[in-house]
Amino acid sequence: MLSVLRNRTYRHLFTAQVIALIGTGLATVALGLLAYDIAGADAGSVLGTALAIKMVAYVAVAPAIGAVADRLPRRALMVGADLLRAAVALTLPFVDQVWQVYVLIFLLQSASAAFTPTFQAVIPDVLPAERDYTRALSLSRLAYDTESLFSPALAAALLSLMTYNWLFLGTVAGFLASAVLVVSAMLPKQVAPEPLSGGAYAKATAGTRVFLVSPQLRALLALDLAVAAAGAMVTVNTVVYVRDELDRSAADVSLALGAYGGGSMVAALLLPRVLDRVCDRTVMLRGALLLPLVFTALGGLTAVGGDTWRWPALLLTWAAFGGLSSMVLTPTGRLIRRSTPPEARTAAFAAQFSLSHSCWLLTYPLAGWLGAAAGLQSAVAALGLIALTAGLLAVRLWPSLEPGPGEHEHSDLHADHPHLVDAIRIRGAWRHSHHPLTDGLHAHR
C-alpha cells in the first residue's frame, strides 16, 4: 500500500491532507472548550448548532464550488482554501460571542468544502493506474481514521502543558503547512472543461446531474445514506450507551469511538488486495447489506440487561459498524472515477461531498432526537430500517451486469489530451478501452 508514496506529487498531497486533518482535530477539541467558556451549561447546544452549520456549509457550498472549480487553477483553489482556514482558526481564540463562533465555523467549513472535493479530483490524475489509486483511497481512509484516534490524544497531551487557545495555533500551523506542501507538488495538467449552458443554478447542479445519469452513482447515494445511519448512531449515541446504559467512565467513551475507528482501519488495510480480485459492486453492497444485521445485534444489546457482556459486545458492534462503513466508503473514489470523464470529476466529487453530507444532516438529528424522546431502542429501529431500505435500494439501482471496459478510438483529440494517457496510436486515431462514460467525448460511442 505504501508504494504509492514513492510518487512525489502524491506524497506531498497526502502529507498535506494528514497535517490538515490533525489541525482540524485539534480545533475540534479546542472549539468544545471555547463553547463551554462562552456558553457554560449551554455548550452542548452551541456545539450542536455548530455541527449543523458545518453540514449546511458542506451541502450548500460544495456544489457552488464544483460549478467553477474546473475553471480555476486547482493549486490556487486548494492553497486559497488552506489560507482561509488558517485565518479563521487564528481568530477563534479572540471571539467572545456565540454568534461569532457560528460565523467563523461557517467560513471554516466552507473553505473545507472547497478544498476536499478539489483534492479528491486531483488524485486520479496523479495516480492514473487503478491499482495505485485504490491504494491511495485506502491510505486516505486510514488517514481519517487515524486522525480520529490520534488528535484527541495529542490534544489531551498538549492541554497538560498549555491552555486550549494554543491548540488553535496548532490548527493554523497545520493549514499553513498543508498550503506549502500543495504549492510544492507538481500537479498534472488540468483538463479544460466543456462550456456549460444555463445559469448559475444549472452550473451548480451539474455534478448532481452527473450522479443522476449513472446507475452506479445513483446507487452510491443510497449507500451514503446507509453509512450515515450507522455513523450517526455511533457519533451521537456512544456517550449515551457508555455513560447511561452501561454506567462506565468518560474515558470509555473514547475507547468505544476508538473501536469504531479501529474497525474502519482494519477494513481499509485489507481492501486493496480484496478489490484486486472482487468488483466494487460486490464489496460495497455487501458492506451496506450487513449494516442492518449489526443494527439488529445492537437492538438486542440495548434490550437485554446484564453488564458483564454488554461492554465487549458494544465494542464489537462499533468495530463492525466501522469496518462495514469502510467497505462502502473506500471504493467510492474508484466508482466516481470510472463513471465520469476527467473534466467533470471535480464537479462529481463536489456533488458526492454535498449529497453524502445531506444524508448526515438527516441522520444526525434523527439519532439524537429519537434517542432522547423515545429511547435508544426506537433510534436503533429507525436508523436500522433506514440502512436496510437504503441497502436494498442500492441493489435495485446498481445493475448486476455492468458493461465492462469497451475498446474504441478517438480521432478528434490532440496527442497530449489527458484522456489519451493509456491510448495507442493506430491508423490516424488513438485506441484504448475503459468503462462507459457519459460525456461529450463519448456521446456517439
89-125 per-position pLDDT tens digit: 899 888 888 888 888 888 888 888 888 888 888 888 8
Widest Cα–Cα separation across the chain: 75
Residue 212 carries which side chain, given as an amino acid letter? L
As a CATH number, domain 205-402 is: 1.20.1250.20
Per-residue pLDDT, 185? 86
pTM, two decimals, is: 0.76
Spatial distance between the Cα atoms of 89 and 260, rounded to a whole number of angstroms: 28
Per-residue pLDDT, 443? 44
365-413 per-position pLDDT tens digit: 888 888 878 888 999 999 999 999 999 999 999 987 655 555 656 666 6
Give the C-alpha distances (Å, rounded to integers) separating 439 from 205, 209, 305, 343: 16, 12, 57, 9
**C-alpha cell recorded at residue 409:** 478510438
Spatial distance between the Cα atoms of 20 and 127, rounded to a whole number of angstroms: 21
Per-residue pLDDT, 42? 67
**C-alpha cell recorded at residue 32:** 468544545
Q: Where in the chain is the domain with CATH 1.20.1250.20?
A: 1-137+144-185, 205-402
Which pLDDT tens digits describe the chain residue by residue (445 residues)?
A: 567 888 888 899 889 888 888 887 777 777 767 777 787 766 656 766 777 788 888 888 777 776 666 667 888 889 999 999 999 989 988 888 888 888 888 888 888 888 888 888 888 888 888 788 888 888 887 887 777 667 666 776 777 777 778 888 888 998 999 999 999 988 877 655 555 455 544 555 666 777 777 888 899 999 999 999 999 898 888 888 888 888 887 678 778 888 888 899 899 889 988 988 889 999 999 999 999 999 999 999 998 876 678 899 999 999 999 999 999 998 988 888 887 777 677 777 777 888 888 898 888 888 888 887 888 899 999 999 999 999 999 999 998 765 555 565 666 665 655 556 566 767 666 665 555 555 444 544 4
Give the C-alpha distances (Å, rounded to integers) separating 67 from 14, 71, 123, 352: 25, 8, 19, 13
Per-residue pLDDT, 440? 46
**φ/ψ of residue 428, rounded to 5:** 75, 10
Q: Is 60 exposed, middle or buried (0-12, 13-18, 19+ CB in 10 A)?
A: middle
As a CATH number, domain 1-137+144-185 is: 1.20.1250.20
Nearest to 287 by CA among 300, 275, 303, 305: 275
